[in-house]
Amino acid sequence: MDDLFVKVQVEESEKEHIARPNLTAFQDGWLRLKKNKAAVVSLFTLIAIGVLAIFAPEFSKYSFKETNYDIIYQTPSLAHLFGTDQFGRDLWVRIWMGTRISLLIALIAAVLDLTVGVTYGAVSALSGGKVDAVMQRIIEVLVGIPNLIIVILLMMIMPAGIWTIIMALSITGWVNMARLVRAEILKLKNQEFVLAARVLGTSTSSIIWKHLIPNTVGVIVINAMFTIPSAIFTEAFLSFIGIGMQEPKASLGVLINNGYQVLKNFPHVLIFPAVVIVLIMVCFSILGDGLRDALDPRMRK
């Protein structure tokens, strides 16, 4: 029988050898995200759109409110890269200003959703019992009411503006985040490291923010990636139907509404803002899928 086995010779220096470098969850996730070419391209596309939204209006010689009736509905040219609209305003500046406003609304709404949703879900899961039951009934009531109806009603009551749209998007936007965080924490709260923290006298808030939230960061980041394009689309829809941002302010919804009215004769007025909003939506979706695969421990090889 001994002839069937060959003893492996292991050098003394290799016995304690670490096969791979010690990486944090974020470092490991970034390495795996870089292997997803579509997600990387989407990330850099979003960065480019963000840079243009911040700096393009500032370094242009035109203002997004400046009118010139001598050059209305001009097609794209060197002087006006995206052409002009019905008031002779430069569409290059207006589109990137509108992108800036739409991204600002979406990012602030996403941060508010993340803060409220994560806190609410964590407290609900960790408290349990009657507290959890009452908090979940509140969520069920909010889920039962269509989100768009609440947003439209609030927009009709309050004056149109950036903060009104943000408030409208945030009223029920946090519900999905709260439910996801609660589900994750319910899986974690009875594990050994949480019980050890309780035995050592760690406060509930410290357990939530130092132990539970870091272990649900993958779910939080992925859901936030899908919350931002959803908020952009909702803002664009509200502005398109006339209860969101109003002229002369610019947002992607306002610009698409203007372009839709003259689509047959001047298609460039609609095409350019439509391309920008489609790029944002698609890139966030692809990046969200890439982050889901990169941050999921089960996807490790």
Residue 19: CB partners within 8 Å, gap ≥ 6? none
In order along its 301 residues, the chain shows pLDDT tens digits of 556 666 666 666 655 555 556 666 566 667 777 788 888 899 999 999 999 999 988 888 888 777 888 888 888 888 888 888 888 888 888 889 889 888 888 888 888 888 888 888 888 887 878 888 888 888 888 877 777 777 777 777 777 677 877 887 788 788 888 888 888 888 887 788 778 888 888 777 787 777 777 777 778 888 888 888 888 888 888 877 777 777 777 788 888 888 888 888 888 888 888 899 999 989 988 888 888 777 665 555 5
- Dihedral sign of CA atoms 64, 69, 75, 81 in order: negative
74-113: buried (b, 16+ CB within 10 Å) or exposed (e) per residue? beeeeebebbbbebbbbbbbbbbbbbbbbbebbbbbbebb
Q: Could you give the CA distance from residue 220 to residue 182 in angstroms, rounded to a whole number?
A: 11
Sort 157 into a burial class: Cβ within 10 Å, 0-12 / 13-18 / 19+.
exposed
Torsion of CA 288, 293, 295, 301, to 10 degrees: -160
Contact (Cβ atoms closer than 8 angstroms) between residue 72 and residue 84: yes
d(CA 209, CA 217): 11
Number of residues that make up the chain = 301
Q: What global pTM score does this model have? A: 0.78
Q: Provide the 8-state DSSP code for 85.
A: -
Residue 242 burial (CB count, 10 A): 13
Domains and CATH numbers, the chain: 26-58+91-299 (1.10.3720.10)
Please tell me the chain's helix, strand, coil percentages from 3-state DSSP, rounded to the nearest 5.
70, 0, 25
